[in-house]
Structure 1
Amino acid sequence: MEKLVSSWSSNQHLPEDYVFPVEQRPGEETTIPVCKAIPIIDLEKASHGRKDIIQQIIDASQKFGFFQVINHGVSGVLVHETMSVVKEFFTMDDAEKASVYSDDHTKSCRLHTSSPNYDTEKSHFWRDYLRHPCHPVEDFIHLWPEKPATYRDIVGRYSVEVRNLSLRILDLISEGLGLEPGFFQGELSNDLLMSTNYYPPCPDPSLSLGLPKHSDPNLITLLLQEEIYGLQVYLDGQWLGVEPLSNAFVVNIGHQLQIVSNEKFRSVEHRAITNSREARTTIASFISPCNSCIVEPAKALVNEANPPLYRAFEYQEFLKSYVAKAGKKETALQAYKIEVKHH
């Protein structure tokens, strides 16, 4: 428990093992613009302008690998309650959080700090996190925190809503790619892992990171963030800030969707910066294939002119090598790429 940043960080200098090498430091946050170009997609319009919304999603997934959705059908009250109960969890006394804290990274529900590679990483990340599986809720809810008393009820309802929303978005994506209806349902989107992140105020945000530059290994991620800036996307050689919008979800394309789409879509690197003024809380929902699912480029997207760019593999095999390579994009994908011969 004493490792948790929130346990010791107030009124402290930045410890040496939280200072990043010069080339990885975020520097002054003011030099990174909040990007107004990252698309904001109004899902309510899908009921009468479905083709247009699908096109917006396809364009955003190709160009940015990121977009935000508003009017998404998840109740604003539930979104607010979920963020509140998660913040309440992180601000409880250490003694109350101790039952879910663990240094064992194989434990499915655990509170920890920095990353699963804490013992081997050169620089620690300025965050505490709680992660646990969520689907189906009834299989996992008994592992979740018992305090705050409303945590299980609220987060349980939220995780069901977010999963439904992700399946709606995946249906629009499969239609846009020309795949059969329900293509992503079943094994490809079977798992939902929730990671709630708590970034306490940091004494020197220019030297530290909440999360390093990485791409997500899963299929698709839905992120709920407070209206506090902290998410940055690495696009075409430069960092861009993602505007925090009230009651919106940031959607980003994971490696598996880049692979299934045969690189029509891109999984884009991103990071979390910290600030010195206030704590920031985010809730990431990772939609993933089940461990034994065979992932490969969709057959409908592959032909003589567009050969498959990746070999088939079991998702658990990918995940293992992704963790070993600490999420670095090119090295994570390299082992699964097929060399395409140009005639």
Structure 2
Amino acid sequence: MEATNYNRAKAVKAFDESKMGVKGLSDSGITSIPPIFIHPPQTLSDLKSSPSKPTDIPVIDLSDVTSQTHRPKIINQIKQAAKDWGFFQVINHGVPLSVLDRTILAIQAFHDLPHETKAKYYKRDETRGVMYSSNNDLYRTNAASWHDSLQAWMGPERPKVEDLPEICREEVVAWDFHATGVAETVMELLCEGLGLEAGKFKELTFSQRRALVGHCYPYCPQPDLTMGITPHTDPTILTVLLQNSVPGLQVKHGDSWVNVNPVHGGVIVNVGDMLQIITNGEYTSVQHRVLANSRKESRISIVIFFNLSKWKGDGYYGPLPELLSPEKPPIYRDFTAEEYIANFYGKGIDTKSFIEKVAIQD
């Protein structure tokens, strides 16, 4: 196809209106990916990079989290992981293994439905309700990525049960409950790691406004030309992620991309940009990405994004006053929810663009 004859906007619109998603393209047996999915060389240049020595994100055992003897050690582990890595896995978190397995299978079952069946959920209303789509930033980015998503806003108001796809309805509601419990436990530990009262972040309603997103990364016939998801940081407070056994998630640590190897029974937690801001840089959000899937089995991940729903009462967000002092002045300015939301929906996913906007210049 000659570049002069290629109308990207028209091709994007045609793909979107087909409601097939990349799973539909993959299932159709294509051997080459459409041009809208081909990424520039600078994005693809380090796909083969790997750390100089085998490593992995920290794995933290929560089995003794209520023990007065063991809790301080766990607090320190969580604190260091959030400062040094921004990513960690928790095990023995209290969620039954059967719940994890059923959640993954249910989201996979949705994505395995015929695209004609899924099409009734296909839309682009990102801010509420239930939405199935391919690439939430499809019209805001220069190159689409090889994934589809089922998104459901689970709070402050849960969607009507009948609005959730029947094939994964019970599992989505159950996972929202269990993942929120894991997030609240982790946030208590993160609070205590900063010398705050354990319930401080819950008081700030970090877990009330939350979105569940079930991603599917189907087989890609040309994985060296595209991405599953491009490098980015999450704009949220905290992200809780559950994944199946198909690899692909990578985290930037230093100058290397580190594979996040699936641990059966493990739940991944990562720091979002908003948590970096409100902790005045004590905890750090980090870049992560997903490689395009070269395996015949789909990669499935279920993510819940936790967001603040209120703040000081005056409508402004910023570093927690309790963490500021003459020795530790604010490194980020206050901002409004409107400013934060406009930044996210005004572009494709990226790395710390909002943090850069609110950073106080020396």
Q: Which amino acid aligns with 1:331?
A: S
Matched with 1:169 is 186
Q: For residues 276 and 311 of structure 1, what CA distance do their matches in structure 2 show?
A: 43
> When the two structures are aligned, how many residues end up with a matched partner?
335
- 8 Å CA contact 2:20–2:115 kept in 1: the answer is no
Taking a change above 3 Å as real, the CA distance of residues 249 and 294 of structure 1, as seen in their structure-2 partners, is farther
What pairs up with 1:174-213 in 2 under 5 angstroms?
A: 174-186=191-203, 187-213=205-231
Give the CA deviation at 1:316. Answer: 4.1
Q: Give the corresponding residue for 1:80.
A: 101
* Matched residue, 1:225: 243
Structure 1, gaps ≥5 residues long: none
C-alpha distance in 2, partners of 1:200/1:291? 37
Q: Secondary structure at the match of 2:227?
A: coil
The residue type paired with residue 128 of structure 1 is: D
Shift of 1:247: 1.5
Q: Following TM superposition, by how much is the alpha carbon of 1:7 offset from its aligned partner in structure 2, in angstroms?
A: 1.2
Aligned-partner residue type, residue 318 of structure 2 = E
User: Which residue of the partner structure matches residue 12 of structure 2?
Assistant: none
Residue pairs, 1:53-202, within 5 angstroms = 53-115=74-136, 117-135=137-155, 139-142=158-161, 144-148=163-167, 151-186=168-203, 187-202=205-220
TM-score with structure 1 setting the length: 0.91
1:180 maps to a residue whose letter is: E
- 1:185 aligned partner, one-letter code: K
Decide which of 273, 279, 287 is 1:269's aligned counterpart. Answer: 287
For the Cα contact (< 8 Å) 1:35–1:242, is it kept in 2? no
Checking the alignment, whether the CA contact within 8 Å between 2:238 and 2:271 is kept in structure 1 is: yes
For residue 14 of structure 2, what is the aligned residue in structure 1? none
Q: Does the 8 Å CA contact 1:262/1:309 hold for their aligned counterparts?
A: yes
In structure 1, how many angstroms separate the alpha carbons of the residues matched to 2:81 and 2:107? 30
Distance 1:37 1:82, change over 3 A: closer
The partner residue of 1:315 within 337, 340, 351 is: 337
- Among 30, 34, 38, which residue is 2:57 paired with? 38
Deviation of the 1:130 alpha carbon: 0.8
**Per-residue deviation at 1:143?**
6.0
Q: 1:100 to 1:2 in 2, by over 3 A?
A: closer
SS in 1 for 2:166: coil
CA distance in structure 2 between the partners assigned to 1:224 and 1:280 by the alignment: 11
Q: Using the TM superposition, give the Cα deviation of residue 298 of structure 1 relative to its aligned residue in structure 2, in angstroms.
A: 1.4
Q: After alignment, is 151-160 or 47-56 more displaced?
A: 151-160
Corresponding position: 1:22 with 2:12:
no
The residue type paired with residue 302 of structure 1 is: L
- State the distance in 2 between where 1:240 and 1:62 align: 17
Q: What 5-or-longer segments of structure 2 have no aligned partner?
A: 1-17
Q: Give me the whole-angstrom Cα distance separating, in 1, the residues matched to 2:351 and 2:115.
A: 35
Structure 2 vs 1, CA of residues 64 and 56 (structure 1 numbering), >3 Å: closer, same or farther?
same
Aligned-partner SS, 1:232: strand
- d(CA) in 2 for partners of 1:316 and 1:246? 39
Amino acid at match of 1:73: G
Cα shift readout 1:9-35 (whole Å, capped 9, x = no counterpart): 242112222111111016655x42595
Picking from 205, 213, 235, the partner of 2:253 is 235
| Residue 157 to residue 316, structure 1, CA distance change in 2 (3 Å) | farther
Query: TM-score, structure 2 length as denominator?
Result: 0.87
Q: Distance in 2 between matches of 1:122 and 1:136?
A: 33
CA RMSD of aligned residues (A): 2.0
Aligned partner letter, 2:330: P
Q: Secondary structure at the match of 1:317?
A: helix
Shift of 1:81: 0.9
Say if 1:192 and 1:288, in contact at 8 Å, map to a contact too: yes
- Whole-angstrom distance in 2 between the partners of 1:145 and 1:330: 32
Q: 1:177-201 deviations in whole A, cap 9, x for unaligned?
A: 0112311014333211101100110
SS in 2 for 1:155: helix
Contact 1:134 1:141 (C-alpha < 8 Å) held by counterparts: no
Equivalent residue in structure 2 for 1:299, among 317, 321, 325: 321
1:325/1:332 contact within 8 Å kept: no
**Structure 1 Cα separation of the partners of residues 248 and 269 of structure 2:** 15
Q: Matched residue of 2:259: which SS?
A: strand
| 1:281 paired residue among 280, 289, 300 | 300
* Kept after mapping to 1: 8 A contact 2:249/2:260: yes
Matched residue type, 2:321:
K
- Which one-letter code corresponds to 1:63 in the other structure? D
Q: Extract structure 1 runs of 4+ deviating beyond 6 A.
A: none
Partners of 1:107 and 1:43 in 2: how far apart?
Answer: 33
8 Å Cα contact 1:215/1:254 also seen in 2: yes
